[in-house]
Amino acid sequence: MSSGSPLIRHPKNPIITPASMPVECSAVFNAAACRYKGQYLLILRVEDFQRQVNFHVATSRDGVKFDISPTPINYPLGELEAGQGGSLRFDMRITPLEGAWYVCHAVWITGLGCMIGMARTTDFVNFEPVPGGVSVPSNRNAVLFPEKIKGRYARLERPFMEDGGGRMWVSYSPDLTYWGDARPLNIPTTTWNWRKTGAGPTPIKTPEGWLAIYHATAKTASTENYYLGVALLDLENPARVIATAKRFILQPEEVYECVGQVPNVVFTCGAVETDDGRLNMYYAGADTRMCLAQTSVKELLEFCKTR
């Protein structure tokens, strides 16, 4: 626990490593998370020794020890991806919406750059790309809100800026295909989030607003360090930040967060509320392994408003 943070690292960290995978891989990280049929479910980003990415589903009854499928999910190429001769998908987020599960992820298409892709599933085995394929470049770190806002679908995303940085935006759609009316979130700039901010897990609805855990970066003398922060967004206008903690809630400190293929990184794509009122936040350490930190929605809300 750092700087009075409400997050507590699990004593069994890291909970999933390349050595514990049922397939050969060099890294397993940046997992989406949800509850599905009474279990905790992760969609793991798994990189092989050619740095090619597959997604593997992992399930658990206690949220700590996971059974991992050796078979990647079935996710067919979209028209744009197939026509460009190669693509790379990564960093999924899962949102339950209107009786199905929607995933948002980054897509790197050869010759075009990075953009947002979306797909729908009902069984976490077969995935169907959302009509319209992918967004225009350059954009990433997208996550859908779990319900419509004023009659429209909404998502957080992070367009790239010319200097390589980026800030969180919210955009809207009537049909999950056409997106626009984008607005930047007015998160105050600090010394730990000035370079980039981007969405983490699916925003959590509370009576006080949307609770959003996000990642942020700042350059140091040797690396660009990743941190995690938390903000409270207006229920009807999520571009308006009601409150945000001036302090980060997690920074790289442990060896498993500081040493790996990308040093000094803590990065989350998924958080799940437990039956006893806790919040399991699944995060990656150093782009190499999966970790778990625990808190509660109540504690995060209080941290937003007082820190």
- Torsion sign across C-alpha atoms 189, 186, 102, 34: positive
Residue 253, pLDDT score: 97
293: which strand partners?
9, 281
pTM for the whole thing? 0.96
Q: Rounded CA gap, 247 and 191, in Å?
A: 10
For tokens 């980003």, name the residue.
Answer: 45
**Bridge partners, residue 34, by sequence:** 41
> Is 253 within the bounds of a domain?
yes
At 2 the pLDDT is 47
Q: Which tokens is 234 given?
A: 């207006």
Q: Is residue 75 situated within a structural domain?
A: yes
- Give me the CATH number covering residue 173: 2.115.10.20
Burial class (CB in 10 A: 0-12, 13-18, 19+), 224: middle
Does the residue 36 lie in any domain? yes
User: What pLDDT is recorded for position 302?
Assistant: 95
Contact by Cβ (8 Å): 184, 161? no
The whole-number pLDDT of residue 4 equals: 82
Residue 3 lies in a domain: no
Question: pLDDT under 70 in the chain at which residues?
Answer: 1-3, 83-86
Q: How many domains is the chain partitioned into structurally? A: 1
Q: Which of 286, 290, 293 is nearest to 258 (CA)?
A: 286
Residue 68 domain-assigned (yes or no): yes
Q: Using an 8 Å Cβ cutoff, are 271 and 228 in contact?
A: no
Cα first-last separation, the chain: 15
Q: Rounded CA gap, 223 and 113, in Å?
A: 23
For residue 2, tell me if it sits in a domain. no
Residue 66 lies in a domain: yes
DSSP string of the chain, one letter each residue? --TT-S-EE-TT-SSB-GGGSSS--SEEEEEEEEEETTEEEEEEEEE-TT--EEEEEEEESSSSS-EE-SSPPB-PPPHHHHHTT-EEEEEEEEEEETTEEEEEEEEEETTTEEEEEEEEESSSSB-EEEEEEEPPSSEEEEEE-SS-BTTBEEEEEEEB-TTS-B--EEEEESSSSS-EEEEE--PPP-TTTSSEEEE-SPPEEETTEEEEEEEEEEE-SS-EEEEEEEEEE-SS-TTSEEEE-SS-SB---SHHHHSSSSSS-EEEEEEEE-TTS-EEEEEEETTTEEEEEEE-HHHHHHHHHH-
Tell me the residue range of the domain where 277 lies: 8-306
Cis before 173? omega within 30 = no
What's the pLDDT score for residue 133? 74
**Residue 197 lies inside a defined structural domain of this protein:** yes
